[in-house]
């Protein structure tokens, strides 16, 4: 019996002005992206807390990424820059824990970049697929791989 290939669970924290609109743009342009990505819409990526990111990993996410407005174009002036700094800090914590900071990434898109949103989703899915299930998820015995 052949083994089912590993399909990663990925959580994407997106801002409602750029990331989420870009996901919408992908939709109405009929651009598909991997179903592995579960989107959490936020009023601004400045709302992303390190705890939210760790929480996702603790509850079985194999990868997490944040999609913010391009630098200099945040609807809330600098929420995206705050998110960027927190993502960097969260990466260090994930390395410290042994989960691996490379399972977390930060991206910037505009609302119209549906194609870029889809490319990012595919890139992260491929990256995490190559890394395999998160060590936390493996330990939970919940790996779908």
Partner 1 sequence: MIIAQRKPLEEIKEMVASYEKVLVLGCGTCVAVCFAGGEKEAKLLASELRMARQMEGKSTQIIDHTIQRQCEWEFIDPIKELVASVDAVVSTACGIGVQGMAERFEDKPIFPGVNTTFLGMPVQPGEFVERCQACGDCILDLTGGVCPVARCAKSLMNGPCGGSQNGKCEVNPETPCAWQLIYDRLAKLGQLERMMEIMPAKNWSTSRDGGLRKIIREDLKL
Residues lying near partner 1 in the complex (CB under 8 A) are found at 49-51, 54-55, 57-58, 93, 96-99, 135-136, 138-140
Rounded CA separation 1/114 (Å): 39
Q: Whose Cβ is closer to partner 1: residue 32's or residue 144's? A: 144
Least distance from partner 1 to the Cβ atom of residue 93, Å: 6
> Angle 103-19-46 (CA atoms, 0-180°, nearest 5)?
75
The residue length of the chain stands at 145
Residue among 24, 40, 30 nearest 109 (CA): 24
Q: Least distance to partner 1 from the beta carbon of 130, Å?
A: 20
Is the Cβ of residue 99 or residue 120 nearer to partner 1 in the bound state? 99
Structure tokens at 115: 């194609």
Nearest distance from C-beta of residue 97 to partner 1, angstroms? 5
Measured from the CB atom, the residue of 78 and 144 that comes closer to partner 1 is: 78
Q: Least Å distance between CB 108 and partner 1?
A: 22
Nearest to 136 by CA among 104, 90, 100: 100
């Amino acid at each position: 019996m052949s083994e089912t290939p590993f399909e990663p669970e990925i959580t994407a924290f997106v801002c409602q002005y750029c990331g989420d609109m870009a996901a919408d743009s992908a939709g109405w342009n009929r651009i598909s992206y991997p179903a592995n990505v579960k989107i959490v819409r936020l009023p601004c990526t400045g709302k992303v807390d390190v705890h939210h990111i760790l929480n996702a990993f603790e509850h079985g996410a194999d990868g997490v990424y944040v999609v913010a407005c391009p630098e200099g174009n945040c609807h809330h002036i600098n929420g995206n820059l705050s998110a960027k700094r927190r993502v960097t800090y969260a990466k260090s914590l994930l390395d410290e824990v042994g989960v691996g900071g490379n399972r977390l990434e930060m991206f910037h898109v505009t609302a119209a970049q549906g194609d870029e949103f889809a490319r990012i989703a595919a890139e992260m899915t491929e990256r995490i697929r190559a890394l395999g299930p998160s060590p936390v998820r493996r330990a939970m015995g919940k790996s779908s791989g």
